[in-house]
Amino acid sequence: MSEITLPAEVGRSTGTSSTRRLRREGKIPGVVYGHGIDPVSVAVDGPSLRVALNSDAGTNQLLELDTGTEKYLVLARMLQRHPVRGTLQHVDFQVTGRDETVTVDVPITIIGDAVEVRHADGAVDQQLFNVSISARPGAIPTVLELDISAMQPGDILRVADLALPEGVVAETEAEAAIAVAHVGRGAAGAEEGEGEEGAEAPEAEAGDSGAES
């Protein structure tokens, strides 16, 4: 993915009153760290930052903070929000490199129609909604899709079944279940009934043979 450039002010005061003033001005305080640099206090335009983090990539969006004298390629790592209003209060930006491997969480989307499961009056239950992956920042997918079309009742699709783009490695356990195809109650009851009828037949035969003797 391509990065989004945001202007960033440096040298801001870090006191409570100064931070409140920045927020009243529509700016979000933050800190840039990593790659051996001393932490740099910054302030970023709030609306621009929210737009960037609400893109398809979400918090995995690659950002370039331009201070006028320095440019930092970063990922938003820790977002602090107001406990009541939910508004963004502070962001930690981690410096990264285009050729550096980073570990992030990516959402999983289920696609397709599990026809056989549906015909059995069943349903597919998604149990895992995010997977941890490692990749270069530019290769981070916005979403990973899992096709459930071929699922049969009782099937389980796991992390190992994900089709990962080139250069992307799953860090979540390969056997972790993502989607489970459950049999419908009606179908399950019918199967149990058939099993019970089948179990009664041998008893009847045994009784008949005893009568003959």
* Residues of the chain above pLDDT 90, percent: 68
Within a domain: 79: yes
- Residues 151 and 78 reside in one and the same domain: no
Within a domain: 149: yes
pLDDT, one tens digit per residue, over 73-132 is 999 999 999 888 888 899 999 999 999 999 999 999 999 999 999 999 999 999 999 999
pLDDT, one tens digit per residue, over 153-193 is 999 999 999 999 999 999 999 999 999 999 876 555 555 55
Q: How confident is the model at residue 45 (pLDDT cuts 50, 70, 90)?
A: very high
| C-alpha angle 204-208-209 in degrees, rounded to nearest 5 | 120
- Among residues 57, 78, 97, which one ends one of the domains? 97
- Partners of 125 in the β-ladder: 180
- Residues 40 and 114 reside in one and the same domain: no
Q: Look up residue 65 and give its amino acid.
A: L
Question: Per the confidence metrics, is the pTM higher than 0.85?
Answer: no
Q: Which residues contact 103 (CB under 8 A, 6 or more apart)?
A: 132, 133, 134, 171
Residue pair 112/98 in contact (Cβ under 8 Å)? The answer is no
Q: Which domain holds residue 171?
A: 103-188
- Among residues 57, 75, 97, which one ends one of the domains? 97
| Number of domains composing the chain | 2
pLDDT, one tens digit per residue, over 54-70 is 988 999 999 999 999 99
Within a domain: 33: yes
Largest CA distance in the chain: 104
- Residues 88 and 153 reside in one and the same domain: no
Going across the sheet that includes 123-126, the strands are: 123-126, 177-182, 156-158
- Residues 65 and 82 reside in one and the same domain: yes
- Among residues 97, 115, 134, which one ends one of the domains? 97
